[in-house]
Amino acid sequence: MGKLLVQGYGHCLGDKVYTNEDMKQFVETSDEWILSRTGIKQRHFAESMTNVMMATEAVTMALSKSILSKDMIDGIIVATMTPDTAMPSMAHQLKAALNIQNDKLLAFDINTACSGFIVSLQVADALITTGQCKHICVVGSEKMSSILDFNDRGTCVLFGDGAGAVIVSQDDTSEFDWVHFSNSESDTQQVLVTDSTQNHKILMQGQAVFRFAIKAMSDAIEQVCKEANITPDAIDYFIPHQANVRILDHVASKMNLDKSKFITNVDHVGNTSAASIPIALSEAMEHQRIKPNSIVCFVGFGGGLSWGATLGKV
């Protein structure tokens, strides 16, 4: 759609590390069982941090990497399905936590589960391209531990807590238009939902999610490349939703893509839902794993069911 510049990036992980061995205190499991099925070695839980606290740290880091002051931010979009409160929104609480002084600032949350960051980027692009905002902070932030059933070894070992953030602005010097694709279907079979009680714990049909994820991510990559009129092998890096290493391996193999182009961090972070893509981006940029001016494909899937991809330059 538009020409975007990533001004800054940042991330924050939950304050307590739980290894696979540590998870044995909750459920009957083992390091071998978890690692062989998911590629996960550890995850972080926010035991003394709120979701807003993690988001604040991620945005503070992103601001430190940019040339912008906090008061230049005129848009905040937070992708989350685990807000600390239903009202006010995470975005409004984040504005207060950062003490942003701007007479005009649009703030709201988006919930498309693990696809949330991609959808939020697409909305941010539209707002900037139409001139409604100049500098938008796009955040994925999740406290997944708050909705985990620690008696269910099929879900509790998969997820972690964390936040990732990017600050995007109009790029008047670029000739590259960011391109987006998103889609959804009704989850009538309750493949990936939260229960209907007040506990709202995650319920997941693992094999069905696995099959859907491979199909959805492959489709998203194909569709966004078609829209951009490029082939997938022209993409320098893929930053996928970090759900399961086996899913990513299957997608790469199915599409005959170079696995070394896939940025992964699920081994030490776990599945952080809407936060997974911006955390992976921030860590990769921090460790200089991504070369400047690279074409990057953000791709993911989530509850809803939902899936999508964004092509951009970073």
What DSSP line would sit under 259-314, residue for residue? GGGB---HHHH-B-GGGHHHHHHHHHHHTT-S-TT-EEEEEEEETTTEEEEEEEE-
Q: What single DSSP character describes residue 67?
A: S
Helix (H, G, I), strand (E, B) or coil at 126: helix
Which residue is catalytic, options 241, 250, 265, 297?
241
Interaxial angle between packed helices 90-98 and 51-64, expressed in degrees from 0 to 180 and rounded to the nearest 10: 50
Q: Judge whether 92 counts as a catalytic residue.
A: no
Q: Can you read off the two tokens belonging to residue 17? A: 């590390």
Please give the Cα distance from 272 to 275 (Å, whole number). 5
What amino acid occupies position 312?
A: G
Whether residue 250 lies in the annotated active site: no
Q: Is 135 helix (H, G, I), strand (E, B) or coil?
A: strand
Q: Which of 114, 133, 137, 156 is catalytic?
A: 114
The catalytic residue among 20, 51, 265, 271 is 271
Instruction: Cite the active site residues.
Output: 114, 241, 271
